[in-house]
Amino acid sequence: MSVFNLTGKSAVVTGAGKGIGKAISTKLALQGARVAMIDLDESALAEAFQEIKEKGGNVTSHICNITNQQLVAKSFEAITKLQGFDILINNAGIAHIGNIEQTREEDFDKVYQVNVKGTYNCLQAGVIEMKKTGGGNIINIASIAAVVGLADRFAYTASKGAVLSMTYSVAKDYLAHNIRCNSISPGRVHTPFVDGFLAKNYPGKEKEMFDKLSKTQPLGRMGQPEEIANLALFLCSDEAAFITGSNYVIDGGLVTLNT
């Protein structure tokens, strides 16, 4: 028997159109899971969906604004009727750059709505459905910002700290319902967001700044979305059945070797 086999399992992945969410959706689908991909970006979602389908993955796509509780509940109910699910990956999130003085109220509210309320909405809908079916497995994508201070990331850090705390709370509250809940805290990962950030803030110096940011991690490079997906696959699998209430830092050594 192959390890990390997800045949017979169904998953919901938010923020599935790009970056880490797309990589996780791909990994889970190619390991046998049926994957419901959720994103607000219709074009990105359609492209990711088609790419995974062409690789042989069993996926469906669903447009949803996770900040709207009613829309999330409807989407999760529809997914449950279509395929059910026993895995939930809360990956959708946005970033903001700035210290507390540079963070406007509308900036803070926007990050909170997506990263905190959006995760809360999906957790609530997910737990309700999982209780009906006898259990499940939840993974929240947090960040190293939740465990160490990052310069000029005030709102983002606050939001990911909340995601980490919600992970512990759900894990504690639903032990008796056979629901596991863990989080993954990536360091810097090379996603389309990074490329967009560099193009916007350092035009003409993208490569120089990319190399500089890469070297801030002890391994000397950024992580790849597929590497985060590999960890998610393990936590989704039966091989991780004894793990709940844990946070997994995957950061090229940044947290422990730079402190």
Q: Which residues contact 130 (CB under 8 A, 6 or more apart)?
A: 85, 86, 88, 136, 138, 174, 177, 179
Q: What spatial distance separates the first Cα and last Cα of the chain, rounded to whole Å?
A: 41
User: Are the beta carbons of 63 and 45 closer than 8 angstroms?
Assistant: yes
**Helices 118-133 + 69-82 axis angle, to 10:** 30
Q: Which residues contact 66 (CB under 8 A, 6 or more apart)?
A: 14, 38, 40, 72, 92, 114, 118, 119, 121, 122
Out of 120, 156, 168, 202, pick the active-site residue.
156
Q: How many residues does the chain have?
A: 259
> What does the alpha-carbon distance between residue 216 and residue 221 come to, in Å, rounded to a whole number?
8
Q: Are strands 10-14 and 34-39 parallel, antiparallel or unpaired?
A: parallel
248 is annotated as an active-site residue: no
Annotated catalytic sites, by residue? 156
